[in-house]
Amino acid sequence: MTTLSPILPATTEVGTVTLLARNLPTLTHFYRSLLGLIVLQDNGTEITLGTTSRPLLTLQAAPDLPAPLPNRPGLYHTAFLQPTRADLGRWLAHAARLGLQIGSGDHLVSEAFYLNDPEGNGIEVYADRPRNTWIWENGQVKMDTLSVDAAAVLREAGIDPSTFSGAPDDYRASDGLSIGHVHLKVGSAAQAAQFYRDTLGLDLVSNFPGAAFMSWGGYHHHVGLNEWHTRGQGKPGTPATGLRSVEFITADLNGLGEHLKGQPGVTTTADAISLQDPWGNHITVRQA
């Protein structure tokens, strides 16, 4: 796989996702409990959570904002990538112990579990299958949504699925936990795919009815885009809780800087470039 243009390096990946929270303490507790994240920074109105090796999620207090309506463009889910299938199995047992309502999907390239946080933000927790098992045809990766063999995922972690006793008391998120991708709600998946291709140099790697999946460097997707609940919607006219911004981390900003030079709505600093997509989703690309 190659990108259409050298706008960003193939190693570019998702950094930190920022959410606006109506109840900051509750949401902080939820993500710490769900994923074993630790507090990296807390100034009272903004809390950054992550692992010892990286920040993953920033929560900003916004107690006066309303919750987003289902047809509002924004976040569909934040996808937390477990480094191995065994890590996913340990997390699954832990989540079951918490008594959470969880959906699932075997996407051929990955095995995933889904839920919502207390404020309705979507969450995916998943593990990739080995890249050499992914099937590529005509530049697109084969993906689907099938049933997950949850018992097999648990067995991979050495947990007897017949007892389903939950995670060990000393459960912690692996230092290898990362945000593998973000999935956004947009007014038009086709228009959004063109925007992210033309603006950030992402490759279109899979299409479904009303959805597009895009990546750098031959990954199955760093960005998902769908119009399933938001078809025809434009940029929201008023603020709401939910997605504040998505950050991508890159080794080299020069290509993107040259590509976006002089374009309206683009903010550039020494180590970052920020912009919005047509539906008001804030994007920051940061060099690290």
* Burial environment of residue 129 by CB neighbours within 10 A (0 to 12, 13 to 18, 19 or more): middle
Q: Among 133-147, 160-174, 176-190, 245-259, which is the least confidently predicted range?
A: 160-174
pLDDT on residue 158: 87
pLDDT above 90 (res 22): yes
∠ CA 212-226-92, rounded to 5°:
95
Mean pLDDT of the 7-16 span: 97
pLDDT on residue 1: 40
pLDDT above 60 (res 175): no
Cα–Cα nearest to 33, from 112, 104, 110, 115: 115
Mean pLDDT of the 92-115 span: 95
pLDDT above 90 (res 160): no
pLDDT on residue 52: 87
Domain boundaries, the chain: 13-287
Which of 209-221 are b and which e, b meaning 16 or more Cβ less than 10 Å from the residue's Cβ? ebbbbbbbebbbb
Mean pLDDT of the 108-128 span: 98
pLDDT category, 2, cuts 50, 70, 90? very low
pLDDT on residue 138: 93
Domain 13-287, CATH: 3.10.180.10
Is residue 123 within 8 Å of 116, Cβ to Cβ? yes
Q: Which pLDDT tens digit goes with each residue over 78-101?
A: 999 999 999 999 999 999 989 999
* DSSP letter string, 57-77: EEEEE-TTSPPPPTTSSEEEE
* DSSP letter string, 201-244: --EEEEEETTEEEEESTT-S-SEEEE-TTTTT----SS--SEEE
pLDDT on residue 170: 44
pLDDT category, 34, cuts 50, 70, 90? very high
Mean pLDDT of the chain: 93
pTM above threshold 0.85: yes
pLDDT above 60 (res 164): no
pLDDT above 70 (res 57): yes
Mean pLDDT of the 145-174 span: 71
- Report the distance separating Cα 126 and Cα 77, nearest Å: 12
Beta strand pairing call for 211-215 and 203-208: antiparallel
Q: Which residue has the higher pLDDT, 170 or 232?
A: 232
pLDDT above 60 (res 203): yes
pLDDT above 90 (res 163): no
- Report the distance separating Cα 205 and Cα 144, nearest Å: 13
Is residue 288 within 8 Å of 251, Cβ to Cβ? yes
Dihedral, CA of residue 134, residue 140, residue 142 and residue 144, to nearest 10: 130
pLDDT on residue 171: 47
pLDDT above 50 (res 74): yes
pLDDT on residue 53: 86
- Which helix (DSSP H) or strand (DSSP E) does residue 124 occupy? strand 122-128
Cα–Cα nearest to 205, from 180, 191, 189, 222: 222
pLDDT on residue 176: 85
Q: Which pLDDT tens digit goes with each residue over 121-130?
A: 999 999 999 9
Q: Among 157-161, 175-179, 239-243, 277-281, which is the least confidently predicted range?
A: 157-161
